[in-house]
Structure 1
């Protein structure tokens, strides 16, 4: 989609704290409900003195504080009208335009809040995929490799901060897989639309436990030479930070420019996506156990730091050329709110009875944050 209505743009702000049981539309001074047992009033975040006690005591997490909307300069939250019984710190908030984040809140969580409250509306090759409209996945990155003076695109990635791209370790772990640059903001990878950016890669950080003979720890981070300039078609994505699987009825998509026809191995020049479902760990392990080579590359089976996803009809899947791209959890399909839950790792064939294998992002938050936000500041 190209634009969203003013109402949808306003509602987008409500998704900053989308896990809350109470989402309130209101202006400053309107009554609201923080929780069933906690009354509140809509107030700018910098003026909500009571919230720090709830956050620091653990009575509430930042994701449980309802959002009333956005004022001219900052977020309007549902501020508790009664103070929490815990003792509050008297340390002043160095950034009064934002709610203070307790130490237990991760930089990835703060980064996601910043992305979703940035004031820019989000608009709402994969086997048997559907074309992705402009601006739907502004985090998508195509990784370019220099092949005898010609740029070839063989893997994908996700922009997670202005200068960092998340991808798979197996995409960048060999000398002939040294990335040259990433292409952002493009749907057509060969003839990109106006507004795209090519930014050189200056550093590659492969997870220290990754081995090319194994499917474990298949995750890496690329550092770019310059900050990506954010626009309607280029913007970082949120990371999914919960270590447990999302609700059973969640929607997932994979996206990329990889193989779209297993018969002729044709790759897509256009960004495509396909809907998938998570496969329970026991069923995934049973499927991989039937593959003899899995005994070498998955000696411990599919472990907790991995995910499996597939299409029940065995028609849609990630395929060669999609590696490193995202497994996307769709949170709200109207306003285009989503989070990266996995990194495309490997599989046995494409759209076969063996599910695709993904690196679970939430299992590697310490690794990601240590590189992308080393000082824990967003």
Structure 2
């Protein structure tokens, strides 16, 4: 059934709405010096990283608790984890784009001279779609994916750009074993408090078999999940739920990032040491993403 659904994506031309952006638009990151090990990200390094905002009362201001992230995939849609929308009660949900340091706005750095990004943008979510087969079992999440439609299109800037999604069979079959991957988010950098600055780290994919052998409680499903683990203490922090697991293609000026996965569960130092985390495999849900985008587009004309 899963393979048939995947084949539908590649054999049926989705004309409307406009398809997912290609690498001439998406996945573009400025050329910088990358630091491994959960260090601060550079300004605008991952311009697709979104911070989820919540309101428990219409009269109250936005809050970032629980700390969840997401990934901008078009000028109107953000992907995140389903559990980010089910773990708390809220009356409204929003998305912040172009964020780097939660304590400053705009965000600035010094590179010979002061360089500032444009102020971050907060946008209401007009529709949140949680995968109908999302469920939990013994602390593990399955079909942990949700699509957020923004109340208005965003304008792309140096700090706000979409990440690519690759719809090919090779990626759909891959477990990303021994692939170098990157993570980003405002996670629990010290295991005691959240980071105010966007963090990033480099991790490596593991085969489901190795992941199961070393960490049997994770129970990775090869078809819909990815297992990955960092070195030197790098893993996915507690606050990075819904955030991007990124892979890159090409080199230098021709390099672009694509969304390999969505942070789901694991990566808890108290349970696994500096252990692995499990990610929802994005390529297994492309049909679901495109179908929902097209369905929403059709309903807008009814």
Q: Specify the TM-score bucket, using the shorter chain as the normaliser.
A: 0.7 to 0.9
* RMSD of aligned residue pairs (Cα, Å): 3.0
Which deviates the most, 154-163 or 205-214? Answer: 205-214
1:215 partnered with 2:136: no
* Residue equivalent to 2:110: none
Aligned mates of 1:199, 1:269 — CA distance in 2: 20
Deviations 1:46-79 (A, max 9, x none): xxxxxxxxxxxxxxxxxxxxxxxxxxxxxxxxxx
For these two proteins, the number of residue pairs brought into alignment is 261
Which deviates the most, 130-139 or 102-111? Answer: 102-111
Work out which of the residue numbers 339, 362, 371 in structure 1 matches 2:258.
Answer: 339
1:372 partnered with 2:279: no
* Residue equivalent to 1:277: 204
Higher relative contact order (CA 8 A, sep 6+): 2
Q: 1:288 to 1:311 in 2, by over 3 A?
A: same
1:258 partnered with 2:187: yes
Aligned mates of 2:262, 2:238 — CA distance in 1: 14
- Kindly indicate whether the alpha-carbon contact (under 8 Å) linking 1:306 and 1:360 is maintained by their aligned counterparts in 2: yes
Q: 1:259 to 1:128 in 2, by over 3 A?
A: farther
1:144 partnered with 2:60: no
Deviations 1:144-191 (A, max 9, x none): 112562422210000111111100001002452565211001111232
Q: TM-score, normalised by structure 1?
A: 0.62
* Rg larger in structure: 1
Q: How many Å apart are 1:136 and its aligned residue? A: 2.0
Aligned mates of 1:120, 1:320 — CA distance in 2: 25
* Residue equivalent to 1:91: none
Aligned mates of 2:267, 2:223 — CA distance in 1: 20
1:206 partnered with 2:130: yes
Q: How many Å apart are 1:376 and its aligned residue? A: 9.7
1:352 partnered with 2:273: yes
Aligned mates of 1:134, 1:254 — CA distance in 2: 15
Q: How many Å apart are 1:225 and its aligned residue? A: 0.6
Q: TM-score, normalised by structure 2?
A: 0.76
Structure 2 residue runs without a partner (length 5+): 1-9, 107-117
* Residue equivalent to 1:190: 103
Q: 1:322 to 1:118 in 2, by over 3 A?
A: closer
Aligned mates of 1:121, 1:281 — CA distance in 2: 30
* Residue equivalent to 1:78: none
